[in-house]
Amino acid sequence: MSTPNDRTRRAPRRPEPVAVRRGPAGPVPGEVQVLPTDQPPEGATSPDARPRLSFAVPPARGKAPKHLADYDLAGRKKALKDAGLQPFRADQLSRHYFTRFTRDAEDMTDLPAGQRDQLAGELLPELIHEVRALRADGGRTIKHLWELHDGVRVESVLMRYKDRTTLCVSSQAGCGMACPFCATGQMGLTRNLSTAEIVEQVRYAAQASERGDLTGGPARLSNVVFMGMGEPMINYKNVVGALHRMIDPAPEGFGLSARGITVSTVGLVPLIRKLAGEGLPVTLAVSLHAPDDELRDELIPINSKWKVGELLDAAHDYYETTGRRVSIEYALIKDMNDHAWRAQRLADELNARGHGWAHVNPIPLNPTPGSIWTCSTQETQDEFVETLRRAGITTTVRDTRGSDIDGACGQLATEVLNQERGRAKA
Ligand code: SAH
């Protein structure tokens, strides 16, 4: 409340500033706003059904056999000792696995012939096997569908670029985060993958790259992104174990550069903060997809728990702690989240926390089969990108590798399952 005294102390009235400070960027009257609730999710049995956010992790049916990639070197030695084998063999087995990418006992000629099978059998059981391998983009992309020991299926995608070879891995079978535009989000969560089940995807990719399976001859796997099935933060412990196996130098791990590894999350704020403290300077990607809580509440169900502001604060702190620039993922969906004012709002939110700490990756939506949502028009996408760039935000549109092979997360698994169900009915 103002008092006469306040009034007397007030500075002399200045002329109104010419440019009035704008409020937050907001909707333009008459614009089209498509909502995430406009269609029931894929596979829904009633029109008002929606995928449900769930943090519950169903128990696995039977444990995956133990594998050397589940342990650090000390753990591997102990496992061999417990099996009555010589602990120092763990070092040799690890070198075969992490530097020659093999689990085949016959390749291990430095091990005594009479013990090879037993050693490999103890710590290198088969954890994943190929159900399908599909090639796209002239052989520069290979998508795999894997089956795990209990019949559960997951996907990974290997992509060769001019300057790098990247593997997109799954951290869970299915996902409980229920994002309505994501094929995996419609499945619900089946189970977490073990550390070794994640690492095996990487080992196969490193082996395939080295063997020259990708067009262009032998390549070295350089990057790994956790952008396949699942929410890595819900499987935090096993994901951190897998990160160690990827980053630790041989014979502990593959010795990949931490900067080439990206953990992508829908936004579990406390776990983003925990990851920052692990001393593993991997890149963090945040699947934001909307800069305003109004839309994000509908589009990304976990926003009901952690809001855009809290999420961006945690992402910014991650940058401060690790020195790694954060990627902001933004799937552009026509008339839903692609308005220029949202690009401006996103830029304002990022710039309010500092400059140069984040870059934005708009991704053209890869619609799930039967979806009414589509990707933005080229013109809208260009305007979105330009708005961000004008505001000083580094922005790179993600290329849509493998979209002709059900490239979007979870689509291949769904497609193969539907085919098999079709066959079973016929
Ligand atoms: N749970 C993690 C990893 C999931 S997939 C996360 O949400 O970040 C990796 C990225 O692909 C996420 O940004 C996800 O939102 C995005 N994505 C999922 N389905 C998509 C689709 N149909 N089109 C475009 N991007 C999609």
The predicted-structure confidence for 91-140, as pLDDT tens digits, reads as follows: 999 999 999 999 999 999 999 999 999 999 999 999 999 999 999 999 99
Structural domain range at position 81? 68-123
Nearest alpha carbon, ligand 1 atom 3: 227
Give the residue numbers marked as catalytic: 155, 409
Same-domain check for residues 89 and 202: no
Q: Which atom of ligand 1 approaches the CA of 177 most closely?
A: 1
Last residue of one domain, picked from the residues 123, 156, 191: 123
Instruction: Indicate the residue among 123, 144, 169 that finishes a domain.
Output: 123
DSSP code per residue over 198-231:
HHHHHHHHHHHHHHT-STTS-----EEEE-SSS-
* Domain co-membership, 106 together with 181: no
User: Is 404 among the domain residues?
Assistant: yes
Ligand 1 atom closest to Cα of residue 411 = 22
To the question of whether residue 287 is assigned a binding role by annotation, the answer is: yes
Using a 6 Å cutoff on CB, does residue 178 contact ligand 1?
no
Query: Residue 254, SS3?
Result: coil
Same domain membership, residue 310 and residue 413: yes
The CATH code of the domain that includes 287 is: 3.20.20.70
pLDDT tens, position by position, 373-402? 999 999 999 999 999 999 999 999 987 776
List Cβ neighbours of 73 (8 Å cut-off, separation of 6 or more): 90, 91, 94, 251, 252
Structural domains counted in the chain: 2
pLDDT in the model for residue 30: 87
- Tell whether ligand 1 has an atom less than 6 A from the beta carbon of residue 288: no
For residue 55, tell me if it sits in a domain. Answer: no
Are 183 and 116 within one domain?
Answer: no
Q: Does 145 lie in the same domain as 84?
A: no
pLDDT of 265 reads 98
Residues 98 and 150 in one domain: no
Q: Are 84 and 228 in a shared domain?
A: no
Is 230 annotated in a binding site? The answer is: yes
Q: Is residue 5 part of a domain?
A: no
Confidence (pLDDT) at 7: 40
Give the atom of ligand 1 at the shortest distance from the alpha carbon of 366.
Answer: 23
Cβ of 327 below 6 Å from ligand 1: no
115 and 132 within one domain: no
Indicate which CATH number applies to the domain containing 111. 1.10.150.530
Do 102 and 154 share a domain, yes or no?
no
Task: Report yes or no on 159 lying in a domain.
Answer: yes
Is the distance from the beta carbon of residue 373 to the nearest atom of ligand 1 less than 6 Å?
A: no
Question: Both tokens of residue 140?
Answer: 């520069």
Q: Ligand 1 center to residue 105 CA distance, Å?
A: 38
Task: Assess whether 116 and 148 both reside in one domain.
Answer: no
**163 lies in a domain?**
yes
For all residues of the chain together, what is the average pLDDT?
A: 89
Ligand 1 contact, 302 CB (< 6 A): no
d(CA 359, CA 372): 29
Query: Relative to the CA of 285, which ligand 1 atom is closest?
Result: 8
Q: Residue 57 domain-assigned?
A: no
Estimate the crossing angle of helix 89-99 against helix 116-123, to 10 degrees. 70
Rounded Cα gap, residues 21 and 1, in angstroms: 24
> Is pLDDT at 299 greater than 90 in this prediction?
yes
pLDDT of residue 64: 86
Closest among 133, 202, 135 to 165, alpha carbons compared: 202
Q: Looking at the chain, how many residues does it have? A: 426
List the end-to-end C-alpha distance of the chain, in Å, as a whole number.
78
Residue of the nearest CA to atom 12 in ligand 1? 287
Chain segment 139-180, per-residue pLDDT in tens: 999 999 999 999 999 999 999 999 999 999 999 999 999 999
Domain shared by 389 and 319, yes or no: yes
Residue 418 C-alpha to ligand 1 middle, in angstroms?
21
Percent of the chain with pLDDT over 70: 86
Tokens coding 262? 């990206």
Shortest-distance Cα residue to atom 5 of ligand 1: 227
Q: Residue 178 domain-assigned?
A: yes
**Would you call 148 helix, strand, or coil by DSSP?**
strand
Nearest atom, ligand 1, residue 264 CA? 8
Tell me the average pLDDT across 56-76: 91
Does residue 418 sit within a domain?
yes
* Protein residue with least CA distance to atom 24, ligand 1: 365
The reply to whether 229 and 261 lie within a common domain is yes
Does 406 score more than 80 pLDDT? no
Name the CA dihedral angle for 402, 408, 412, 413, rounded to a multiple of 10 degrees.
Answer: 150
Q: Do the annotations mark residue 403 as ligand-binding?
A: no
Global model pTM greater than 0.75: yes
Question: CB of 329 closer than 6 A to ligand 1?
Answer: yes
96 is in an annotated binding site: no
The reply to whether ligand 1 has any atom less than 6 angstroms from the CB of 360 is no
Does residue 155 line the site of ligand 1, with CB under 6 A? Answer: no
